[in-house]
Each structure stands twice: as C-alpha cells, then as structure tokens.
Amino acid sequence: MHESDLTPHLPRFLQELTEFLAIPSISADPAFKGDVRRAADWLVKHFKDLGASDITLHETPGHPIVTARVGNDPSKPTVLVYGHYDVQPPDPIELWQTPPFTATVRDGKLYARGACDDKGQVFIHLKALEMLRKGGDLPCNLKFLIEGEEECGSTHLEEFVLKNKELLKCDAVVVSDTSMIATDIPSLTVGLRGLCYIEVTLTGPNRDLHSGQYGGAVENPVRALARMITQLHDEQGRITIPGFYDTVRVYDAATRKAMNAIPYDEESYKKELDLKALKGEEGYTTIERVGIRPCLDVNGIWGGYTGEGAKTVLPSKAHAKISMRLVPDQDYKIATKQLMDHLQSLTPPTMRIEMRDLHGGPWGLTPMQGRAFHAAQQAFEHVWNKAPVPVFDGGSIPIVSVMGKALGVDVVLLGFGLHSDAIHSPNEHFTVSHIPKGIATVLEFYKQFAAA
Ligand code: BES
Ligand code: MN
Ligand code: MN
C-alpha cells in the first residue's frame, strides 16, 4: 500500500488518535490510575472494532496489559507488536502552547503528550491492522502486547512475558517506540541503553532550623548533597564510582568509525538546544557519548524553601533523583548497588542517607542481520526512498532485551519519531505525515518478512 492511498483516511485517523491522546494515562502518578485503565479500555474497544481475537485485559498489581491476536495460519510467520499506552507526566504544564491532552495540529505536527511516545506509534500499528483487515489478506499472523507501565519501568511486564511465553510465541518482535534521524534520513535503532534510577534523601538536623541561630555551626544537607553529587564525576567527565567501567564494552576503531559516519551536524544539534557548547566524557564524540558510553544524571534536586520570597531556613532534609544510563555489558543491578555504596561512602558524618531503588532495566542490542532486520531495512527503503542508517540510541526500553531472550527471537525497532519531537518535554509532538508513512512501512515490513 502506498502512503497516498491512506490520505483519504487521515482526518478520521487524527480524530481517533485525538481521542486516545485525550486520556491522561500517566502511569507514574497514582492519581491517574483510573485514566491509565481508561486508555487500556480504549485499546480493548479498538481491537474489538478491528475484529481482533483473544482480546484480553490482563490485570497486574500495577497497570493492565492488553493483548490481542489476528490470524492463526500455521503456514504464515507470526509477528508480535509491542508498544505502550502510558505517558509521562505533562509538567511543567505552563510551558505547553496548547493543553497536553487536547491534541492540536500546527505546521504539520500533532501536539499532545504521548503523540510520539508512544500512543501515536501504537496507533500506526492499529491502523496498519485496519488496512490489512480491509485488504482481506494477512501476510503474517499478528499478536499485540501493549503495556501501561513503560514510563515507570515496566515493573510487571517482565514477569508477564516470562509466564506467557506460549501466548506471546512469535517469529519476530516489532517495537515502534524510537526515533529516526530525520524525515529525509530514515534510521533503524540497533542499540538502547540500560537504566537504573534511585532516590536519595539526606538528613541533617532533626528539624528545619533558623539559619541565623544555627547557620555556620550545623551542616546544611542541601550543600552536603550538592557536594556529593559533584563528586560523582571527575574533570574528564568520567563517573567516579569504583568499578563502574569494569564491564563497559570497548569498541574497536573500525566500529567507532562506522558509528560516527551517520549523518550528524554538531552545529545544528547545539543550535536546536540553544547551547553554546557541549560537554561530556573526554575522548568520545557526541554520538558515542549517547550511544555506547554510560552516563549519570541528576533528574531533580530539592530541599528547603523554594516558595515565593525569602525564608531564612537551614533545612533538615535534601533530596535528589539520580539515574544512570548503562551500556553493554553492564548489569543494572550491580550498577545500582555500586552507585548506592559510593553515595554511602561520600556521606559526611554530619548526615544520614536513605536511598530507594526506583527501577532499573537492561540495555538492548538488536541484530543487524537476519530476516526481521532485513525486512525492516527493505520496508524503510521502499517507503522513505532511502536505506535506513543503523543507530545506537541513548534511550531505554527495558523489555526489548527481556522479550528477545525469553521468546528467543529477533526484535526490530521500527521507530517513526524524530529527536526533535520533544518526548517527555512540554509540546511533545509527532509529524502528521509520519502516520501514513509509518503505516505503509509497517505493512511493507509484514509483506517482506512473510516473503523472506
Ligand atoms: N520511547 C522511550 C525510549 C526511547 C526514546 C528510546 C527515544 C530511544 C529513543 C521510552 O518510552 C522511554 O522513555 N523510556 C524510558 C525508560 C523507562 C524505564 C522509564 C527512558 O528512556 O527514560
Ligand atoms: Mn516510549
Ligand atoms: Mn518515554
């Protein structure tokens, strides 16, 4: 199917997607538990309308998992499509030009939380399915696994996958939850980083103190925490945690050269972010820093008085949320422990430290050969008129490696977002033309995969 054949359907597609995007399925915030479920229910209804079979909403101790199936012809290969219907919180809400849950089209882009990550991309698969149902002929049997906890660590999905190998049995997994380099530079993500995420609370005095009565005599936990955080990197931008780099894979010069050959312009990268300069681990390019090197970030830091005006206070507590992106062959459980041990050792005797492991997940590498990858390459070339470039992306989708291992099949990352889509940020959007193009790519992938 050519993308132009989809044009007549586009207004309806946008209307349906707008409905899906209107549900604030924010998985991280318990206040939205009901909305997360409503998004799962929306999917169930949509699969019903599409005539899918075995549509099931699986309860978990967290948010539900939706599975469905279409076709059951033993002579055809089976593709499992994975995606997520949960979204990130929209804040800071005041920075949105239009409300995050009222999808709005401006300049060929659809603005809403989840437009790209990942409802828009899940929707592409629903509409590819719709087109297949209308065409009457399925090249592959299809299975769908759409979860509601990706944005908070896929907490219950690993167990679900391990317990439901038969239900999920397939010949390849397709995930549309990544981005491509540019509309005119299609790419296929072949590497994702792992993740670990902790919350730290540092306690000094047992109550907030008058900073005049006590300042200078009692150590301030905000200052102590800031000092500890500063010590996590050295002057070369390397992480100082003992043993942290022991298992980091070293790539040979040829691989690094190939990795750096992808189209990338540092000047426009900086310009898009309004940055005068970039900073990272010495000895590595930006592409390498994001793709094959680990990093440590402070996602948030708070403590003391942050309201209007001045309040003189020496706070009792300081907090930070710290995460690390991990690369082959690091183990996220070991890295989490190393980080916690190191923070413990940096804690001054004036402070008590408490740490909570929020979540973690493994890195993933997808094979650059084999039937699924070739079908994906051909599908991109067919629809976007250019062979896709393989890229190592810095983000994380922990379940990718779990599914690959548990189901014993190749995973392909058929992503249709753009880096500039502002996922997790205010004004997240998705390029409207990527909807018909994405549908055409998915359909071509099924065709090529079945023919291979
Ligand atoms: N879709 C993203 C991951 C992504 C985005 C990979 C762009 C590659 C390119 C996913 O929804 C996401 O945000 N994952 C989280 C990890 C999760 C455990 C919270 C992330 O990477 O922060
Ligand atoms: Mn996502
Ligand atoms: Mn995300």
Q: Is 158 a catalytic residue?
A: no
Calculate mean pLDDT across residues 289-308.
97
Tell whether the torsion through CA atoms of 342, 344, 350 and 355 is positive or negative: positive
Q: Is 86 in the pocket of ligand 1 (CB under 6 A)?
A: no
DSSP, collapsed to helix, strand or coil, labels residue 230 as helix
User: What letter would DSSP give residue 123?
Assistant: H
Q: Is 178 in the pocket of ligand 1 (CB under 6 A)?
A: yes
pTM of the predicted model as reported, rounded to 2 decimal places:
0.94
Helix, strand, coil percentages (3-state) for the chain, rounded to 5, are 35, 25, 40
Q: Is 395 in the pocket of ligand 1 (CB under 6 A)?
A: yes
Strands 295-303 and 317-326: antiparallel
Calculate mean pLDDT across residues 150-171.
96
Choosing from 35, 150, 151, 410, the catalytic residue is: 150
Residues in the chain: 452
The predicted pLDDT at position 33 comes to 98
Confidence of residue 194 (pLDDT cuts 50, 70, 90): very high
The predicted pLDDT at position 2 comes to 85
Pocket probe for ligand 1: among 150, 155, 187, 416, the residue whose CB has the most ligand atoms within 8 Å is 150
Confidence of residue 3 (pLDDT cuts 50, 70, 90): confident
Output the six-digit token pair for 389. Answer: 């470039």
Query: Is residue 241 within 8 Å of 326, Cβ to Cβ?
Result: no
pLDDT by residue (tens digit) across 209-259? 999 999 999 999 999 999 999 999 999 999 999 999 999 999 999 999 999
**Cβ-Cβ contacts under 8 Å for 27 (sequence gap 6 or more):** 36, 62, 63, 86, 87, 148, 149, 150, 151, 152
Choosing from 86, 147, 177, 219, the catalytic residue is: 86
Give me the percent of the chain exceeding a pLDDT of 90: 97
Q: Is 150 a catalytic residue?
A: yes
Confidence of residue 135 (pLDDT cuts 50, 70, 90): confident
The predicted pLDDT at position 19 comes to 98
For residue 217, report the distance from its CA to the centre of ligand 1, in Å.
Answer: 44
The predicted pLDDT at position 136 comes to 75
pLDDT by residue (tens digit) across 56-91? 999 999 999 999 999 999 999 999 999 999 999 999
Per-residue pLDDT at 337 exceeds 90 = yes
For residue 195, report the distance from its CA to the centre of ligand 1, in Å.
Answer: 10
**Cβ-Cβ contacts under 8 Å for 346 (sequence gap 6 or more):** 228, 231
Output the six-digit token pair for 114. Answer: 């989840």
The atom number, within ligand 1, closest to the CA of 393 reads 8
The predicted pLDDT at position 105 comes to 98
The predicted pLDDT at position 108 comes to 98
pLDDT by residue (tens digit) across 357-391? 999 999 999 999 999 999 999 999 999 999 999 99
Per-residue pLDDT at 395 exceeds 90 = yes
Query: Is residue 316 within 8 Å of 211, Cβ to Cβ?
Result: no
Name the residue at shortest CA distance from atom 19 of ligand 1: 151
The predicted pLDDT at position 69 comes to 98
The predicted pLDDT at position 77 comes to 98
The predicted pLDDT at position 336 comes to 98
Identify the residue whose tokens are 């397939």: 170
Per-residue pLDDT at 435 exceeds 80 = yes
Give me the percent of the chain exceeding a pLDDT of 70: 100
Q: Is 224 in the pocket of ligand 1 (CB under 6 A)?
A: no
Query: Is residue 430 within 8 Å of 115, Cβ to Cβ?
Result: yes
306 phi/psi in degrees, rounded to 5: -125, 10
Q: Is 87 in the pocket of ligand 1 (CB under 6 A)?
A: no
Q: Is 388 in the pocket of ligand 1 (CB under 6 A)?
A: no
Contacts for 48-55: CB closer than 8 Å, 24+ residues apart? 50/126, 50/129, 50/130, 50/133, 51/133, 52/129, 52/144
